[in-house]
């Protein structure tokens, strides 16, 4: 689903939502790889995705709604700025536990970074024990993920031929920390814990470009 607002009064907007229901082929137990070659299982991809982008010509300076008679020197500093933002969010991807034996409900009502699911519901199988648990559990996904990137830019008209463009771009503008998926290795001391960062810290990039 997609919604667009054409450029008007200095603003343009695009927003999209995607409900993902992918299927892939697989097998339930390792020896069944050929017998169940056509078995279809839900993919581990995030079920929900949303994105939005907005561009806004700030209404200050000559030819704009506010301060339209601004002195040229002041207009060069505060007039004509354009800002753009891109936001992305997706729900967590489904967690898969391989051949582990599951007894009870592994889903927690209030998961935390140190205990994302009910680790007591899992036990390691003995050798040659067939798998009985499903591939994944409704409601048992990793942490969600969101990100905001931003840009602010301005053109400086030097003369009839030369124009200078300044751009400041920021990635992960809010410098937010996103959790990675928790460990699903029952033999690890970190089983059920999310110990890594799924994204990087804020990054900034400056650009100065001469057009002629």
What is the per-residue pLDDT across 64-74, written as a single tens digit (0 to 9) for each?
Answer: 888 778 788 88
Question: Is 105 a domain residue?
Answer: no
Question: Is 106 a domain residue?
Answer: no
Give 66-124 pLDDT, tens digit per residue: 877 878 888 878 888 999 999 999 999 889 887 788 888 899 999 999 999 999 998 88
Percentage of residues of the chain with pLDDT beyond 70: 88
Q: Which domain holds residue 7?
A: 2-94+145-187+197-211
Q: How many domains does the chain have?
A: 1
pLDDT at residue 114, rounded to an integer: 95
With contact defined as beta carbons under 8 Å apart, do 89 and 53 qualify?
Answer: no
Question: Is 103 a domain residue?
Answer: no
- pTM score, two decimals? 0.79
Question: Is 179 a domain residue?
Answer: yes
Question: Is 53 a domain residue?
Answer: yes
How high is the mean pLDDT of the chain? 85
> Which range has highest mean pLDDT (28-37, 42-51, 59-68, 115-124)?
115-124
Question: Is 161 a domain residue?
Answer: yes
Mean pLDDT of 5-16: 89
pLDDT at residue 35, rounded to an integer: 47
Give 148-190 pLDDT, tens digit per residue: 999 999 988 888 889 899 999 999 999 999 999 999 998 899 9
Question: Is 183 a domain residue?
Answer: yes
> Which range has highest mean pLDDT (6-15, 31-40, 48-57)?
48-57
């Amino acid at each position: 689903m997609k919604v667009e607002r054409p450029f008007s009064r200095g603003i343009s907007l695009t927003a999209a939502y995607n409900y993902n229901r992918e299927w892939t082929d697989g097998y339930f137990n390792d020896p069944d790889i050929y017998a169940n070659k056509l078995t279809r299982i839900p993919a581990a991809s995030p079920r929900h995705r949303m994105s939005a982008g907005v561009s806004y010509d700030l209404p200050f300076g000559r030819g704009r709604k506010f301060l339209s008679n601004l002195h040229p020197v002041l207009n060069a500093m505060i007039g004509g700025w354009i800002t753009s933002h891109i936001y992305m969010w997706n729900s967590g991807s489904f967690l898969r536990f391989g051949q582990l034996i599951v007894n009870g409900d592994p889903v927690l009502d209030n998961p935390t970074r140190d205990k994302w699911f009910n680790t007591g519901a899992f036990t390691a199988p003995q050798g040659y024990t067939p798998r009985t648990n499903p591939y994944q559990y409704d409601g048992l996904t990793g942490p969600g993920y969101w990100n905001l990137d931003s840009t602010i830019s301005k053109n400086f008209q030097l003369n009839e031929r030369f124009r200078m463009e300044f751009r400041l771009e920021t990635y992960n503008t809010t410098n937010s920390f996103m959790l990675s998926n928790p460990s699903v290795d029952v033999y690890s001391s970190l089983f059920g814990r999310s110990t890594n960062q799924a994204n990087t810290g804020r990054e900034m990039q400056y650009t100065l470009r001469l057009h002629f």
